[in-house]
Amino acid sequence: MPSRLNKLVVDELSAKFRGVDTCFFVDFTGLSGRKAADLRYQIRSACGEDTTLTVVKTSLAKRALAQAADGQDLADGPVGEYLEGPTAIAYGADDPVLLARTLADWARKEASIRFKGGLLVGRPLAPDAVAELAKIPPKPVLMGHVVGMIAAPLTSLLNVGNGLIRKLFALCDALAKKNSEADSE
């Protein structure tokens, strides 16, 4: 029978996880309290104030995820494997790629955390898939690529139209010169 405190913790966590469909699980073994606070600060400054890194007892996290998923027991599948050992859960970011990139940058710099896996729109992600997600360019860069891809054919069409107009003006100019030479003779 769980203690009253554990039940309160599970209820609070399940309320937090209820609206969350994207989160990442990281192993934080060897992460000091000061570095954990620095990581939380980095995550919040990069991803927004609603983004959270929570360290919780894994059995309580499993119960909270099961309770938050409304009957769909996520903790029994791959997510249960992600919750083995010391685990921190990062969630709440509007841009999951930015959150994954922030965690990956921290892991490269500090080498004190590693990805265990994650959920992306409710689907489990393996640790290497989370690392690949972190390699996706930022949203403004992707939007620039899309705009460039849309603009390239339009630019080509505009260049073809300009070429036709230039040829038409060159033809008119040549005809005008020919007519002026004919009039002068």
Residues 58 and 79 in one domain: yes
Burial letters 122-147, b for 16+ CB under 10 A, else e: eebbebebbbebbeeeeeeeeeeeee
Residues 96 and 21 in one domain: yes
Per-residue pLDDT tens for 90-102?
888 888 888 888 8
Per-residue pLDDT tens for 136-184?
888 788 888 888 888 777 777 777 778 888 888 888 888 888 888 777 7
User: What pLDDT does 1 receive?
Assistant: 43
Q: Quick one: what percent of the chain has pLDDT higher than 70?
A: 93
**Which residues does 6 contact at the CB level (< 8 Å), separation at least 6?**
60
Residues 28 and 110 in one domain: yes
Closest CA to 67 of 2, 129, 157: 2
Model-level pTM? 0.70
Residues 113 and 49 in one domain: yes
User: What pLDDT does 70 receive?
Assistant: 64
3-state secondary structure the chain: CCCHHHHHHHHHHHHHHCCCCCEEEEECCCCCHHHHHHHHHHHHHHHCCCCEEEECCHHHHHHHHHHHCCCCCHHHCHHHHHCCCCEEEEECCCCHHHHHHHHHHHHHHHCCCEEEEEEECCEEECHHHHHHHCCCCCHHHHHHHHHHHHHHHHHHHHHHHHHHHHHHHHHHHHHHHHHHHHHHC
Residue bearing tokens 């192993």 = 27
Q: Which amino acid is at 114?
A: R
Range of the domain at 102: 4-136
Confidence of residue 73 (pLDDT cuts 50, 70, 90): low
Residues 91 and 169 in one domain: no
Write down the mean pLDDT value for the chain. 81
Confidence of residue 71 (pLDDT cuts 50, 70, 90): low
pLDDT at residue 75 tops 60: no
Residues 28 and 57 in one domain: yes
Number of domains in the chain: 2
Question: Alpha-carbon distance 64 to 10, whole Å?
Answer: 5
pLDDT at residue 74 tops 60: no
Residues 152 and 125 in one domain: no
Residues 178 and 99 in one domain: no
Per-residue pLDDT tens for 38-56?
888 988 988 888 888 888 8
Residues 130 and 147 in one domain: no
First to last CA, the chain: 114
Task: Kindly report the CATH number assigned to the domain that includes residue 22.
Answer: 3.30.70.1730
